[in-house]
Amino acid sequence: MRGAVIRLLIADDHPVVREGLAAILGGFPDLEVVGRAADGAEAIAAALRLRPDVLLCDLRMPGADGVEVSRRLRAEAGTAVLILSTFDDSAGILAALSAGARGYLLKDAAPQELHRAIVACRRGDTVLHPAVAGKVARVREEAPVGAAAERGLTVRELEVLAALAAGLANKQIAARLGVQESTVKTHLGHLFRKFGAADRVQVVTEGMRRGYLDAPGAARPRGGP
């Protein structure tokens, strides 16, 4: 693949960010910006139509978030997804990576760092911002093994926790994860028990206290368990 031009699709719901990224990255001779998308649904449709090598994708967008975009494209296209976000909460990071994202960078990344990450993702490598890598390592160190399972969270529970912190109801969480609503309720029950929580607000609060979520990820959980 040496010398090949990398076809890049950019998805972000903020026009200034989207166009700014296109202008900056389009200046690299080995990158070609083949499209732009203003939301998640548009990103999925554009990726399936254009078949870019890499999709540089915001995490939180209308239509479909970066987690759902990663999951769809992993199943339906050969595009590598690189998340570029202002959010570095552990649950969101783990949810994106487990859904198939190839990398996760923060929006304070320099243009050269973005370029290197895009090239690495096209090559098949996993790329993480240093702050993100530290959070992933910490969560994995705390991840349950054998008899310790009751004290930690599984990847699926992390995904449910992230969706809960985003304010999604059970039906919406089930649609995002591609599971039955009853399965979501089972995972919520595990979270309630592991956190010793009485309601969904307490689950999110305890998730932040334990480092699985950061404050920017919490957004008015609603509904019953």
Contact 9, 46 (CB under 8 A): yes
* Least confident piece of the model among 42-46, 187-191, 217-221: 217-221
* Least confident piece of the model among 25-39, 134-148, 155-169, 171-185: 134-148
Helix (H) or strand (E) holding 57: strand 54-57
Q: Between β-strands 31-37 and 6-11, what pairing exists: parallel, antiparallel or unpaired?
A: parallel
Assess whether pLDDT exceeds 80 at residue 222: no
The structure tokens listed for 190 are 């595990």
Residues of the chain with pLDDT > 70, as a percent, come to: 82
Assess whether pLDDT exceeds 70 at residue 218: no
**CA 178 – CA 176 distance, rounded (Å):** 6
When pLDDT is averaged across residues 190-204 and rounded to a whole number, the result is: 85
When pLDDT is averaged across residues 84-112 and rounded to a whole number, the result is: 83
Q: Which CATH class is domain 145-217?
A: mainly alpha
Please tell me the CATH code under which domain 6-136 is placed.
3.40.50.2300
The order of strands in the sheet holding 127-128 is 31-37, 6-11, 54-57, 80-85, 103-106, 127-128
Nearest to 141 by CA among 211, 58, 82: 211
Contact 43, 61 (CB under 8 A): yes
Domain residue ranges in the chain? 6-136, 145-217
User: pTM of the full predicted structure?
Assistant: 0.64
Assess whether pLDDT exceeds 80 at residue 155: no
44: region left, alpha or beta (phi > 0 left; psi from -120 to 50 alpha): alpha
Q: What is the mean pLDDT of the chain?
A: 81
Assess whether pLDDT exceeds 80 at residue 220: no
Q: What is the pLDDT of residue 150?
A: 39
28 or 67, greater pLDDT: 28
* Confidence at 8, pLDDT banded by 50, 70, 90: very high
Query: If you average pLDDT over each of 85-89, 122-126, 152-156, which comes out highest?
Result: 122-126
206 or 55, greater pLDDT: 55
